[in-house]
Amino acid sequence: MPKVAPEIAGGRVIVAHLGSGASMCALSGGRSVESTMGFTALDGLPMGTRPGQIDPGVILYLIAVRGMSPDDAQSFLYRDCGLKGLSGVSNDMRELLSSADPNAAFAVDYFAYRAALSAGMLAAALQGLDAFVFTAGIGENSAAIRLRIAERLGWLGVALDPAANARHAPVISRPGTMPVHVVPTDEELMIAQHTLSLLWKTRPPTREQEKAP
């Protein structure tokens, strides 16, 4: 974000990483101060096959009443919930948006609702908001989902420019409103960079590695 949107990188920003795995993060001055994820990736937003935030009593019910073993409950929560479980159609947002099944529409609405709900929580953690960022597979490529979420965030000053949103422009907000950006993500590159950094801490780089770009 500091490279592609430096004008907002130092402020109070909510980043919505929306994909098959989904989370939202509150950044202040470039540092994370709150996240929708908890002890594991099961918490927070509904995802492709993970439920997001649920009552812990659900796990107790699955084990005590439905007779699931801990392993079965874990497999169910990681593989058969979220958009897949809500819709009974697919865990792929593209398929859900094109489906005529009412359960698919319900899953899409629920996803947008929970994202907007989490934005309110993160804005409270930041004590205000200077910008909003969409990223990852759904966040970067689904104008429809961006619009559904943005429509619920008007109270924060969010208003999208329909044409900019439709063409997936880097900035999709209307002039004079809360800045809303679409920023590409590259998880594989970040994992590689962090791995390399860790390896260099345990084994100093050679002169050739230091000269490498």
pLDDT score, position 200: 75
- Confidence band, pLDDT 50/70/90 cuts, at residue 201: confident
pLDDT score, position 4: 83
Q: What is the pLDDT of residues 128-169, one digit of tens each?
A: 999 999 999 999 999 999 999 999 999 999 999 999 999 999
- Please give the residue that has the higher pLDDT: either 108 or 41: 108
* Chain mean position to CA 64: 32
Q: Which residue, 38, 68, 69, 70, is CA-closest to 54?
A: 38
Q: Which residue, 11, 8, 3, 10, is CA-closest to 127?
A: 11
208 C-beta neighbours (distance < 10 Å), count: 7
pLDDT score, position 38: 87
- Confidence band, pLDDT 50/70/90 cuts, at residue 198: confident
- Confidence band, pLDDT 50/70/90 cuts, at residue 26: very high
Q: In the chain, which residue ranges form alpha helices assigned H by DSSP?
A: 6-9, 57-64, 70-79, 82-87, 93-98, 102-126, 136-141, 143-151, 162-166, 187-202, 207-211
Q: Token pair for residue 69?
A: 């073993």
Q: Count CA within 13 A, CB hemisphere, residue 116.
A: 19
- Confidence band, pLDDT 50/70/90 cuts, at residue 3: confident
Task: Read off the pTM.
Answer: 0.83
Q: How far apart are CA 134 and CA 144, in angstroms?
A: 12
Q: Token pair for residue 84?
A: 């897949």
Determine which of 60-74, 143-157, 169-183, 187-201 has the lowest per-residue pLDDT on average: 187-201
pLDDT score, position 5: 86
Q: How far apart are CA 55 and CA 60, in angstroms?
A: 10
- Please give the residue that has the higher pLDDT: either 93 or 186: 93
